Structure 1
Amino acid sequence: MSSQRPESDEEEDLLHSAEVPAALAGARLDLVCAKLFDSWSRSRLQSWIEAGRLRVNGQVVEKTRTPLSAGDVLELLAEPEADTRVLPQDLPLDVVHADASIAIINKPAGLTVHPGAGQADGTLQNALLHHFPQTAAVPRAGIVHRLDKDTSGLLVVALTLSAHHKLVDELGRREFKREYDAIVQGELIAGASIDEPIGRHPRERLKMAVVDKGRPAVTHYRVQERFAQHTHLRVRLETGRTHQIRVHLAHIRRPIVGDFLYGGPMRGAGLPTALRELLQNFPRQALHARELGLTHPRSGKPVSWTVEPPEDMQELLRALRAHAREAGQA
């Protein structure tokens, strides 16, 4: 493998190293690699091991069943490959920031993050492959975390394998700062934290729910503005479960405005007709990822970005404020 050592900055992005922890001592090489280099499938890792692209303590090991010891140092020279399953598409992107390692995207509501059941294209992943062709060599075109289709706001995209590996690790350590604007039904007097496990809903397979055997999930919120029947919150994620904010707020009976999956009937009795109709017809969950903070994967310095909510949420907030002023004057 000596002839395959990195010779350029681009190739260094493909070199990954890890130390075998005590918990994996005695396990076979391919299983340990699947744990420590989880950006790739086990079959891909096995093929790289057999091709001599992995070293253990500086020596090439080509047998996938080789047992390892705690403290062994693994070096993997990954091989970039284009993702042929998802095609580039020239879709508009609001790029807040881009450098050699990462891009920060302000995702509009209505844009799905990556292809899935029922949607083969027209996604953020398709757009990234067009605007940042280098992401073809990065898992899921560099997408590290996701937002629901109808949630707007900030996402970080890794433009290199090295950046992807570091950002995935940082996200796993819960070191991203992710703060959201949410407009919810009902009044809240003060902020609090919701520490409730989330898992698949026991009966409705399209929904998540607070369930005893779910994965740990922690959401923090504080009151930004109070209205007669609604509250504008700032919400901070500590974990990142599917639909986490929506599920947790619905769990405390303060569902997000426009969230037809978790919200139930829209409140609005006694409100002016125009405001009530605006609330009832709001076309999506009123949730926006306003702030994103992380450690830059190349410089190692903390960086952050903030984007205010889009016009649909701003219009709703203006209407709620106007009604609050009128009610106060009456």
Structure 2
Amino acid sequence: MSLADSKSFYKQIKVPEFYKKDRLDKVLSSLMPEHSRERLKNWIKDSCVYVNGATAKVRQIVNPNDIICVNEQPSPESMSFIPEDIKINIVDENQDWIIVNKSHGLVTHPGSGNWSGTLLNAILYKYPELSIVPRAGIVHRLDKNTSGLMVVARNEISQTHFIRNMQSRKILRIYVAIVHGHLPKFKTINMDIGRDPINRTKMGVNNPIAAKNAVTHCTPVKIGMLNGSYKVTQVICKLETGRTHQIRVHLSSIGHPLVGDFLYGGKNILGVDRQMLHACFLSFPDMNDNVHSFFIKPPEDILNTLQNINTTN
């Protein structure tokens, strides 16, 4: 669509006479401070900006009195909470909650790099009434490549109930994991977790930023060899807290990263392409103090890996 065909969609800005000539992205950043420079650059690259009637370029120099026309695009954030027809596995539901078995590869909540195609978008499609509940009722998250059980609240009252019970540690969450190395006995890992000071995509326990208390109880159930040469252990992990990447960080910090968890030192064995971690058990009290418990077996990739472990004496 040309500028002439769509003038009504464009915001017109005249570069003030007192401005010095400068790059278009810098000038726009000054004239439209409500938008980030990166977003403005993307609009220029996407031909949403014209200067004096001609399609603009990012490094183009503009002068005082030039006319800039900008077709402001909706932010990814504003478009992220929309229903999408994505298949999800509903384990159980009632008037207050929904139990989901999240598949690995599915992001829980829209965010940077994943503004659509998430569990939240799927929930809004299947349960459109949740559009009025904050975060579409999502109470807690699982990492993209972690599978398993999650609870979603169906109204704000139950969402508040779940959040308070999560904070008071009344919601029981148990995971099955496969880690590198042999973990010989039960171990409680009590290490604060925060943002890694060097790699901001990671969490860590060594001088972390904004660290919070984190406790994971780890019980080895199967110790052996995988693919003939890799020592591995099947571990049952019980969460006492729920920090970002908690199990992955804690096990890596004691020298037992998850098989397939490349971010925290895990390796690819037998074609494993994601961390071997599954939320298999979830238990919580409802608002009448009745306890509900759910178990879901791991998906095929984890089951196959477990079957390939040759136990040691």
State if a TM-score over 0.5 links the two structures: yes
Quick check: 1:223 aligned with 2:223? no
Tell me, in whole angstroms, the C-alpha distance in 1 between the residues paired with 2:295 and 2:182. 26
Q: Which amino acid aligns with 1:205?
A: R
* TM alignment of 1:116-265, pairs within 5 A: 116-212=111-207, 214-228=211-225, 229-265=231-267
Q: Does the 8 Å contact 1:152/1:288 carry over to 2?
A: yes
Quick check: 1:310 aligned with 2:312? no
Instruction: Call closer, same or farther: CA 1:300–1:249 in 2, change over 3 Å.
Output: same
Quick check: 1:293 aligned with 2:283? yes
Q: Which digits, 9 at most, give the CA deviation of each residue in 1:91-147, with x for residues without a partner?
A: 111000011110000000000001101111110000000111121111100000000
Q: Does the 8 Å contact 2:106/2:119 carry over to 1?
A: yes
Secondary structure of the structure 1 residue equivalent to 2:251: helix
> TM-score normalised to the size of structure 2?
0.71
Shift of 1:84: 7.1
Tell me, in whole angstroms, the C-alpha distance in 1 between the residues paired with 2:232 and 2:295. 24
Displaced runs of 4+ in structure 1, greater than 4 A? Answer: none
> TM-score normalised to the size of structure 1?
0.67
Structure 2 unaligned residues grouped into runs of 5+ = 1-77, 226-230
Instruction: Give the number of the structure whose alpha-carbon radius of gyration is greater.
Output: 2
Tell me, in whole angstroms, the C-alpha distance in 2 between the residues paired with 1:160 and 1:294. 17
Tell me, in whole angstroms, the C-alpha distance in 2 between the residues paired with 1:200 and 1:107. 25
Identical columns (%) = 42
Partner of 2:9: none
Secondary structure of the structure 1 residue equivalent to 2:307: helix
Instruction: Call closer, same or farther: CA 1:215–1:261 in 2, change over 3 Å.
Output: same
Q: Does the 8 Å contact 1:194/1:219 carry over to 2?
A: yes
Secondary structure of the structure 1 residue equivalent to 2:262: coil
Secondary structure of the structure 2 residue equivalent to 1:227: strand
Of Structure 1 and Structure 2, which has the larger fraction of its residues in helix?
1
Q: Which digits, 9 at most, give the CA deviation of each residue in 1:220-277, with x for residues without a partner?
A: 01011111311000000001111000000000000000000002556xxxxxxxxxx5
Structure 1 unaligned residues grouped into runs of 5+ = 1-82, 267-276
Instruction: State the superposition RMSD in angstroms.
Output: 1.6
